[in-house]
Amino acid sequence: MDVATESAMTEIQPARLSQPATFMKRIVLSYRWLALIIILVIWQAVTILVDIGLLPSPGQVILAGWGLLTSGLFFKELAASLVRILLGFGTAMVVGLIVGVSMGSRRFWDEFFEIPVIVGLSLPGLIYAMMAVMILGLGLTTPVIAILLAAYPFVAVNIREGVKATDKELVDMARVYLVDRWRMITKVILPGLLPFIMAAIRVGFTIAWKVAVLTEVFGASTGIGYQLRYNFQLFSMRTMIAWALLFGAVMLVIEYGLLAPAEKYFARWRPKVKEII
């Protein structure tokens, strides 16, 4: 190995080593933690200045959450909830994609699905959870159907707008050059549709998360929702808040660990605008 190659390798290795450190520094020093710190300070101040007896301090909630983590109960109940969420969300994505592409592609299907989608958007997830439990009972099908009904309209609307936003000039140019249908979909339509698909995933997954918990609150013997109902019956405020915050922490991990990086990767070709105003 010559001197120039060794010098280049020497420069590359520190750069590779510094990338994880830079990434962690960017996360730790991010402004997004400022709001969380302010909320914790206000929360602590309220528990000190206003002795209402019901609101636990952040320290008490942290201790309760640590007990749930060390006992393994949180991970057991989380696994039960995630199975329901993933099944329901996966079904909602498939149905939403089919309905959204149909609505965006043809006027007939746009008008055909318009009223069901609008009604689906307007009804709260609580109604779907209650109806699913009343009709289907306490089986695995109950949260899946509730999540499907609540989430698919949001997915369909995002996909429809993505299809309608497809660049007509690119499609016309591809047709002029006799591009086959498969390459038309993968090289022209899909790249433009990916940002809308990622938006649909983020919105749909959040709704699935909420509806699954609601369904478990009304009719389940396992899962995060069941534990919230159980601690509500015990009037254990600190444990209820601990369950809720741990559940939210998992959502943050999924958001910043999976969804945000995936969106950044698939939308890397789009021009970035840092500030508008």
Single-letter code of the amino acid located at 129: A
Task: Report the Cα–Cα distance between both ends of the chain, in Å, rounded.
Answer: 53
What's the token pair of residue 196?
Answer: 């809308």
- By CB atoms closer than 10 A (0-12, 13-18, 19+), residue 64 is buried
pLDDT digit string, tens, across residues 230-248: 999 888 889 999 999 998 8
pLDDT over 70 (residue 5): no
Is residue 91 scored above 70 in pLDDT?
yes
What confidence score (pLDDT) does residue 173 get?
77
The residue behind tokens 């699905």 is 113
- The two tokens of residue 234 are 């015990």
How large is the average pLDDT for residues 166-186? 73
Lowest mean pLDDT among 13-27, 142-156, 179-193, 211-225: 13-27
pLDDT higher than 80, residue 58 = yes
The dihedral over CA atoms of 12, 17, 18, 21, expressed in degrees to the nearest 10, equals 170
**Nearest-CA neighbor of 86 among 138, 153, 144, 145?**
144
Which pTM does this prediction carry?
Answer: 0.77
Structure tokens at 92: 């909602």
Q: State residue 75's pLDDT score.
A: 93
**What's the pLDDT score for residue 183?**
75
Full set of structural domains in the chain with CATH: 56-266 (1.10.3720.10)
Is it the case that residue 95 has pLDDT exceeding 90?
A: yes
**Orientation of helix 125-136 relative to helix 190-219, angle to 10°:** 60
Which residue is associated with the tokens 């809308």? 196
Confidence class of residue 18 from pLDDT cuts 50, 70 and 90? low
206: confidence class by pLDDT, cuts 50, 70, 90: confident
Neighbours of 120 (CB within 10 A): 19
Q: Is the dihedral of CA 245, 247, 253, 259 positive or negative?
A: negative
The predicted structure's pLDDT at residue 180: 72
What CA–CA distance (Å, rounded) separates 80 from 76?
7
Q: What confidence score (pLDDT) does residue 246 get?
A: 92
Least confident of 80-84, 137-141, 145-149: 137-141
pLDDT bucket at 74, cuts 50 / 70 / 90? very high
Which residues have C-beta within 8 Å of that of residue 66, sequence separation ≥ 6? none
pLDDT bucket at 276, cuts 50 / 70 / 90: low
Contacts of 117 (CB under 8 A, 6+ apart): 99, 103, 153, 156, 157
Which of 46-60, 70-84, 172-186, 227-241 is the least confident region? 172-186
Whether the per-residue pLDDT at 228 is higher than 80: the answer is: yes
Quick check: 58 and 43 in contact, CB under 8 A? yes
